[in-house]
Structures are given as structure tokens and as C-alpha cells.
Amino acid sequence: MKTANKTVTAERLVRDALEKAKHFADYNIFTFINEEGALEKAREIDAKIARGEKVGRLAGVPYALKDNFLSPKGEATASAHILEGFTSPITATAVKKLEDEGAIMIGRTNMDAFAHGSSTESSYFGPTLNSHNKERVAGGSSGGSAVAVALDIVEFATGTDTGGSIRQPASFNGVYGLKPTYGTISRYGVVAMASSTDCIGFFTKTPDDMDLLMEIASGQDPKDLTTLPDYYNNNPGTESDDSCAKIGIIKDFDNESVHPGIRQALKNKVELLKSKGHEVVELEMPTLKYALAAYYIIVPAEIASNLSRYDGVRYGFRSEKSENLEALYKNTRSEGFMPENKRRIMIGNFVLSSGFYDAYFLKAAKARTLIVKEYEKAFRECDFILTPVSPNPAFKLGEKVNDPVAMYLEDLMSVSLNLAGVPGLAIPAGETKEGLPLGLQLVGPRRSDKSLIKFSKELA
């Protein structure tokens, strides 16, 4: 990570990043550019450096913030109309930790509204374009963050991953994207999607940058009771011996419905691992085929609950044409949510309603337990698992946006990790013949994040 010093000032780094952000404006990456705020912070850091004072590990490093992270800088809208006009009085724990180390937020990035989606086409502000092909989607939901790193505007960007929203856009744009073990980074101050699977993570260009960001951002937070004690910095025991690792490949994920380029990328990496002396084993994980169905019941149920707070009274947008309170709620929610948000609220309330709870939610919750156990079993047989992130590389803009099931199917290989709480690191793995990036994910047992990042260098 290029930090500021006496010769390369923070102001220089920030100005360069802002210039690049403007240069790539047609990609629709940012929902807000923090020009004044970023320059002001850069000058403060430069003054400290000039005085010879100690500066943080990210001194002057410009970064991009996904629009669902709260901070008083810019409107935090989660790219949703219903949050337009909302400026947060609080700062997310992750943001505070990064900025305490000197990182400088240059802008908020575009995303599917409330992080519901896999293409960033469900943003109120319109889609972000793919970094390698402007006719293709950026992936989602953290599309803006992935493209900001891929186009080299910033060295890193934040993301959230509830069911693939970091790993899939990372792989669609050829960068690294980590979904950590559930509970590694505090969710305090991040707009909730599905609280039992939401994870905070990053996009970077190298595994070393990812490691540094994890060292800084991870750790227990009294404001998020699901955070784990800081294993990331305090548990050298999690480091595995990389000289000979056992890597599992999931048999069911290698079939005709997976894009040939992705299958070939997986084959190439398997050969690379073998040539380096690692052992590759095939895994049977039959329960994973239920992950997508379970995810699209559990997650909408949590969404329906988390989105019930947007009433037109407390945050952001309020419909003006309401004659009474009931109409105010109804009109604000009808006008303020995107169709995909509404679809999930309806599915969520349906699967939780009396008479349907046992048939849907309870069954999905049981399937989730089996998936957790399936991963535990797999990690008794191998150290890490290598799989595709998604069945296809970046698809065309407009291709799936009116077909929710086709869009959900893109999440086939990413959601089981969130249900199980295990970490996954998307790594770049070459390109298709047409020049579209291909990605794979390295999956590890809970709390193996540090060794997972380290081991990913074997695949570079």
C-alpha cells in the first residue's frame, strides 16, 4: 500500500485518486465524491509528517467506501431512494478503525439498493459498468467498490458480503475480495441486510494489502455482540504449514452449466497447486445444492425485519402526498424501495407468516445447520477448498435484471459460505477469450482467514 511520506504527500495521493475518479465518471462508480473532506484530511496528515509526528499504517491512502457504511461524510443511502437525504450522525466501527490509521475516503460507491442483487443494476442511481467491458455488469452488490479498485482509482475499497456481494464483483473485475469469517469485523454502523450472514470485507489488488486491512479492521466490538475475540492478530496457531496443503475441489460444481472458461481456470489452478507439491482431493458436498433455496428464504426473512424501520419518519426520503400516518408509511415505502427490495420484503414476510413458517423458514434453518456440518466435515478432509465464485463471468447489462430467478442462480456457489459463516477469498484467475476477468474462491474453516490470505499467494 502506497502511504504518504515527505516526498509523496497525502495531498498528492488524494488529488491523483480524485482525478482518476473524475476521469472514469462514465462508469457510474461513485454516489458521492468527498473532495473537500479528503483534501482537508490529507493536509492534516501532511502537516503531521512535516512535524515528524507518528502517522498511521494507512497514512494518506485514498479509499472508496461502499454506500451502506455510515459516516457523517456524504449521504449514506445504501443506493436506495428511501435513504436519500440521510446523513448519519454515527461512524461505523470499521470506518473509524481505517481512518484512525490515516486512510482517506474519497467517495461512496454505488451498489444494488440495500445490497439486494448481483449486478448493481438495482441501484437507485443506475448501474455501474464493468471495468473490462462497458456493456457488462460490474457484479454486485458492491459493484462500485470492485470497479474503483480494478480501475486503479483507489488501492482498496470496503464491501459487504451477505451472499457473495464482495466475492462476485471482485471476480467480475479481476481483483481480490474477502468475505471474512462471520463476526471478524464489526457490523456496527453498516446498513443491515440479513444480520445473521452480513459480513464486512475488502477489495484489494494484493493478498498483502488484504492482510494489512484485516489486521486493522478486525476485532471484538462492544457495539456488535456477534463480533469474535480478535483471533486475527492474536492467534498464530491458525497459521497452517503451507509447504504441503490439502485442497478440496467440489465435484458438483464442475458441470456443463458452469462457463468453460471458469472450469478451465479451476483446472489450471489445480495443476499449479499440484506442481507446487500440494495435494488435491475431490469432495462430496451434496447438501450444498440446498444452499441457494435456504438462502433465499432465510435472507429475505431477515430483510423483511431489518427494512421495517424505514417508515418515512426517521430516515431520509418521505412521500409528500400522504394525508395520514398510515398513508405516509405506505406511500414512502412504495415510492422509496426498488422492486427487488419489495420482492424480498414480500417473500420474507410470507415465509415467516403463521401457517408457512414451519414449511419454509424452519425447514431452511434446518438445511442451514446441515450446511454448517457439511463444511465442518469437509475441513476434516482438507485445509482449504477451491471453487468458482459464480457459474459465469460478467453478464450483459440488462440480461438478467428482469428475471429474478436467473439473477438468484448467479449466487449458486457463493451463498453457502455465508450460511456456514466460513471465510472465502475471491482471487483473480485469468480471463476469458473475450477479455473478461475470471475468479475463483479459496474457502477455509472459521477463523482461518489469516492463513487463507497467506495461502492465496500459492495461487498467484
Residue-by-residue DSSP string for 44-85: HHHHHHHTT----TTTT-EEEEETTB--SSS---TT-GGGTT
Q: Which is nearer to ligand GLN, 38 or 137 (CB)?
A: 137
Cα–Cα distance measured from residue 190 to residue 95, given in angstroms and rounded to the nearest whole number: 10
CB crowding 96-105: b at 16 or more within 10 Å, else e: bbbbebbbbb
Which of the 8 DSSP states describes residue 25?
G
Is the separation of the CB atoms in 142 and 169 below 8 Å? yes
Q: Which amino acid is at 76?
A: A
- Per the listing, cell 431489518 goes with 306
Is the separation of the CB atoms in 293 and 360 below 8 Å? no
Query: Taking CB under 6 A as the rule, does residue 159 contact ligand GLN?
Result: no
Residues 393-422 within binding reach of ligand GLN (CB under 6 A): 411
Q: Which one of residues 83, 214, 299, 367 is an interface residue with ligand GLN (CB under 6 A)?
A: 299
How many chain residues touch ligand GLN (CB under 6 A)?
14
**Choice among 165, 218, 390, 451 that is catalytic:** 165
The least CB distance from residue 34 to ligand GLN, in Å, is 23
The least CB distance from residue 335 to ligand GLN, in Å, is 22
Cα–Cα distance measured from residue 343 to residue 192, given in angstroms and rounded to the nearest whole number: 17
Query: Taking CB under 6 A as the rule, does residue 68 contact ligand GLN?
Result: no
Cα–Cα distance measured from residue 34 to residue 109, given in angstroms and rounded to the nearest whole number: 11
Q: Which is nearer to ligand GLN, 3 or 79 (CB)?
A: 79
Query: Taking CB under 6 A as the rule, does residue 171 contact ligand GLN?
Result: no
Active site residue 66: yes
The helix/strand/coil state of 320 is coil
Binding segment for ligand GLN (CB under 6 A), chosen from 42-50, 116-124, 131-139, 394-402, is 116-124
Q: Which one of residues 31, 93, 158, 162 is an interface residue with ligand GLN (CB under 6 A)?
A: 162
Query: Taking CB under 6 A as the rule, does residue 141 contact ligand GLN?
Result: yes
Active site residue 243: no
Q: Which one of residues 107, 117, 316, 421 is an interface residue with ligand GLN (CB under 6 A)?
A: 117
Query: Taking CB under 6 A as the rule, does residue 204 contact ligand GLN?
Result: no
Which residue has the closest beta carbon to ligand GLN? 165
196, exposed or middle or buried, with CB in 10 Å at 0-12, 13-18, 19+?
Answer: middle
Active site residue 141: yes
Cα–Cα distance measured from residue 400 to residue 139, given in angstroms and rounded to the nearest whole number: 12
**Choice among 88, 141, 448, 456 that is catalytic:** 141
Q: Which residues bind ligand GLN (CB under 6 A)?
A: 115-118, 141, 160-165, 193, 299, 411
Residues noted as catalytic? 66, 141, 165
